[in-house]
Amino acid sequence: MALKTDVLSESEFDLKQYVHTLRKEVDKALDRHLPRANTKPVTLHKAMRYSVFAGGKRLRPILCLAAAEACGGNRAQAMPLACALECIHTYSLIHDDLPAMDNDDFRRGRPTCHKVFGEAVAILAGDALLTLAFEIAAQCRGWRRYNHKDIILELAEAAGSRQLVGGQVADLEAEGRTIKESELRFIHERKTAALLTTSLRLGGMAANCNRSQLKALTDFGFNVGLAFQVIDDILDVTQSSEQLGKTAGKDQAVGKATYPAIVGLERSREIAAALTKKAFRALKDFHGRPQALLALGKYLLERDH
Amino acid sequence: MALKTDVLSESEFDLKQYVHTLRKEVDKALDRHLPRANTKPVTLHKAMRYSVFAGGKRLRPILCLAAAEACGGNRAQAMPLACALECIHTYSLIHDDLPAMDNDDFRRGRPTCHKVFGEAVAILAGDALLTLAFEIAAQCRGWRRYNHKDIILELAEAAGSRQLVGGQVADLEAEGRTIKESELRFIHERKTAALLTTSLRLGGMAANCNRSQLKALTDFGFNVGLAFQVIDDILDVTQSSEQLGKTAGKDQAVGKATYPAIVGLERSREIAAALTKKAFRALKDFHGRPQALLALGKYLLERDH
């Protein structure tokens, strides 16, 4: 898993070009959906834009769009949901970075939202992005099988107190404590896997996928999401800051619960490998065009930084 | 306006009993919609419940339910939206009370959410309630005229960066500065009138109201909302803490922008009277049963505490 694999040479699919194209499309759509920076109150809208356009990888939107294409849909159908997912992801980062939470001054090399705009505006910019996510999501087209009600429920549950927000609370409560593997899994499932799973499901739903496609996307998303986080934990202890492009060993330093800290490096690698296997097995008999999803999965789970 | 009027003796409508009944129904529905207090993570769900069941007057839900009944609908139809509105109102109070914002230790005589659960959990409980609002709202029944998409858009716009959240930012930015009447109106329209207007509109929409009813509810809601806030500002300077049941003169003490501070007490009373007149004019030729709404309007705009 920690071996560097050149996805592009292994596959006929040009992942680099695909990701580049989708990222540009997502950025354009987000720019259209976010209120102009000169909308009153200007500080708020500037803060929202500052954090949304802060060099994010657009992982959730890309997975969402790729899922729609895998099911025979087109990217335009899934774009409002892709943007909604990015708004939720961005809001969660703004609030996570606050002094009362992880107290981070930098993210991706830039000062965090509250460092630039102050705590009050950062809290409110997060609130506004969370609200905007539902405004954008409601603008998707609905189907008989997946109507607006289903789509809003899907998004709200993944972002809510039992999933994303719940994971963040559990993570904060675990800091500095020795927790069991089951508790760590509880956190990772909620903080990372839930929104990633929903990214894939919403892409499928936007393309009016069938039930077996939705099941496959769910299993793929959940296992990719969980594996992604376990690998993140492993890289934090095995790689240098230079390789990661961020401070290595930070989890350990602040007493964050991670897989290597709790089950050791060897067992962490076994867990990541098992989840990766499950993820790809989920797409084995997928009826559709799962090439992009498979390439994305390979890229995410075989990365070494 | 500051004269105390006994609404109940003036009208055949038993407002006291009506409000009492609706409040109980709303509390019961909120209890059903909120995750149990023992749902993991327990702290988060306890914090959400602590703030939702903190003795709120349920003004927005009651206006929503009364609007549905005014249009010939029943309360059950509007109940999910009524609960969603209260979740949004509660989240906004939790975040407003935070040290980075208004820094309030008490609300309605009880310690605020962050005083009991800490800042991090208070921020996240607010986030979770905002998210839950959309989850609950999506559970309403939709109509051909007002489908789930319309309803979610209505709620998201009223709670978003151009309305509720925008008003809070503008309010924070006005603190300690001398602002113009137009700026103060901008704040009050967004911080108070927007969600109150939407409360009435969503009630109408839940009852499948016609366009002219929706127009009347919008005008009534907006003017009641704005008048309500102007009256709040007036009472803060004219009444004693004992009469108000909260610290009088607090706005002035912290340099909050208020109508009396900016246009004087006399002009504030004129503005409140004009808005009140407009509010009742909006329901003058209402086709339906606006009795409860009229009684509620009278009660809200003729109160002296």
Dihedral (CA of A119, A125, A131, A137) sign: negative
Tell me phi and psi for residue A105, to 5 degrees: -90, -25
pLDDT (0 to 100) of residue B257: 83
Q: pLDDT tens digits, residue range A177-207?
A: 889 999 999 999 999 999 999 999 999 999 9
Local confidence band at B239 (pLDDT 50, 70, 90 cut-offs): confident
- For A41, the closest of B142, B156, B166 (CB atoms) is B166
pLDDT tens-digit series, residues B16-42: 999 999 999 999 999 999 999 999 999
Judge whether B48 is closer than 8 Å to chain A, CB to CB.
yes
Predicted confidence at residue B15, as pLDDT, reads: 96
Mean pLDDT calculated for residue range A57-77 = 97
Residue B86 confidence (pLDDT) above 90: yes
At B76, the pLDDT band (50, 70, 90 cuts) reads very high
- What local confidence, expressed as pLDDT, does residue A244 receive? 60
Q: Is position A140 within any domain?
A: yes
Domain containing residue B236:
7-300
Q: What are φ and ψ of residue B111, in 5° steps?
A: -60, 140
Closest CA relative to residue B205, chosen from B273, B137, B271: B137
CA distance A118 to A50: 13
Per-residue pLDDT, averaged over A20-34, amounts to: 98
For position A155, which CATH number holds? Answer: 1.10.600.10
Residue B127's pLDDT band, with cuts at 50, 70 and 90, is very high
pLDDT in tens, B242-259: 666 556 667 777 778 899
For range A281-295, the mean pLDDT: 96
Q: Is residue B20 part of a domain?
A: yes
- pLDDT tens string A141-173: 999 999 999 999 999 999 999 999 999 999 999
B95–A161 C-beta distance less than 8 A: no
**Mean pLDDT of all residues in B247-276:** 86
Q: Is residue A2 part of a domain?
A: no
Tally of structural domains, chain B: 1
d(CA B40, CA B49): 13
Give just the sign of the alpha carbon dihedral B221, B224, B229, B230: positive
pLDDT at residue B240 in the model: 67
Q: Is residue B2 part of a domain?
A: no
Round to whole Å and give the CA distance between B131 and B158.
14
**Looking at the domain assignment, is residue A1 inside a domain?**
no
In the predicted model, is pLDDT for residue A5 greater than 50?
no
User: How far does the CA of residue B116 sit from the closest CA of chain A (Å)?
Assistant: 14
Q: Is B100 on the interface with A (CB under 8 A)?
A: yes
Q: In the prediction, which pLDDT does A275 show?
A: 97
Alpha-carbon span A12 to A10, nearest angstrom: 7
A228 inside domain: yes
Query: Residue A242 has what pLDDT?
Result: 60
Query: How many Å lie between the alpha carbon of B44 and the closest alpha carbon of chain A?
Result: 7
Q: Which of A18-22, B135-139, B235-239 has the lowest mean pLDDT?
A: B235-239
Distance CA(A256)–CA(A194), nearest Å, equals 20
Is there a domain that residue B305 lies in? Answer: no
Is there a domain that residue B67 lies in? yes
